[in-house]
Structure 1
C-alpha cells in the first residue's frame, strides 16, 4: 500500500551555509563597516545568536538571513525569533530558536485538512511526523499538493514515498 511521511526537518549543513553567506554579506555592506556585529550558530543547542548595535542593523541581519535561507531552499518558518535583549557594551542580542518536528497541534491540523479533503487516504500521527497511506499514488500526490497550498506554522517536507 503506497504511503509517505509528512515531516518538519532541518538540514543543519545548509543552514550553516546560509549563515556563512549572511556573514560574508555583512562584511561587504557599507552600513556594517566597523560595526561589532556577530552571528553565532550553536548546532547542538539549535540556536542562532545575533549580536549588533541597533534595531535597524538587527532588522537588516534578519532580512539577509531569511533571503539566504530561501536561496538555500530552507523555509523561514523553521526559525523562531526571540525578543531583543540588552547586551554588554550598549549592544543588543536576539536569540533565534530552530524548530524541528511537527508538534501535536500542527499534526492534528494536518490530519483534519486531509480528512476534510475527502480523499481515499488515511493519516496517522506518529511521534513528530504524520504518515499518509492510500491505495493510489495519485491520491497521495493530491494530498501533497493540498498541504503545499495550506498555510501552516511549520515547514513541511514529504519523505519516504513508497509504492
Structure 2
C-alpha cells in the first residue's frame, strides 16, 4: 500500500553555512565597524547580538537573506523578543523549528478528512503518515498540503509505492 510522511526538517548544515556567511558579512561591513554585533548557532537556536535594536534588526535581516539564498525557508525560524544584554547591547534568541507540531499535525489530518479523500492520515510523533490505495490519491494529498498556510516549511519523505 503506497504511503509517505509529511515532515518539517531543517538542513542544519545549510543553516550553519548561512550563519557563517552572516558572521563573515558582519566582520566586513562598514556600518558594523567597532560594534559588538554577532551571531552564534546553537543546537536548536541562533543567538543574535547587536549594539542597539537597529543593528539587531539588521543582523536578523542579513540572516533571512542568507537563508533564502541557501534555499532554506525563513518560516523555519521563530524569533523571540529582543532582550537587554550585558554592556548595553540587545540579544535575540531565534529558535529553529524542527518537526511537525501536534496542533499542526491535527490541522493537516482534519483538512485531509474534510476533503473526503480515500486516504488514511495518522500522526506518528513529529510527522504525519499518509497511506492510500492509489498513488494519485497521495499526490492529491501532497498538492492539498502544499496549498495549506502553515507556520513552518513542510516536506514529503519516505514515499513508498
TM range (shorter): over 0.9
Q: Is the 8 A contact 2:37 2:56 kept in 1?
A: no
The range that moved more, 21-30 or 60-69, is: 21-30
Gaps of 5+ in 1: none
Structure 1 partner of 2:12: 12
Distance in structure 2 (CA, Å) of the matches to 1:136 and 1:72? 35
Query: Secondary structure of 1:89's match?
Result: coil
TM normalised by structure 2 equals 0.94
RMSD between aligned alpha carbons?
A: 1.3
Structure 2 partner of 1:142: 140
TM normalised by structure 1 equals 0.93
Q: Displacement of 1:25 after TM fit?
A: 2.1
Structure 2 partner of 1:47: 45
Query: Secondary structure of 2:34's match?
Result: coil
Query: Secondary structure of 1:59's match?
Result: helix
Q: Is the 8 A contact 2:26 2:38 kept in 1?
A: no
Aligned residues: 161
Q: Displacement of 1:21 after TM fit?
A: 1.3
**1:38 aligns to 2:38 (yes or no):** yes
Question: Cα deviation per residue 1:57-90 (whole Å; 9 max; x = unaligned)?
Answer: 1111111111211222222222111111111111
Distance in structure 1 (CA, Å) of the matches to 2:29 and 2:40? 19
Query: Secondary structure of 2:82's match?
Result: strand
- Give runs of aligned pairs for residues 117-136 of structure 1, distance below 5 A: 117-136=115-134
Question: Cα deviation per residue 1:39-71 (whole Å; 9 max; x = unaligned)?
Answer: 11112xx12111110111111111111121122
Distance in structure 2 (CA, Å) of the matches to 1:80 and 1:2? 34
Q: Is the 8 A contact 1:124 1:131 kept in 2?
A: yes
**1:112 aligns to 2:110 (yes or no):** yes
**1:80 aligns to 2:78 (yes or no):** yes
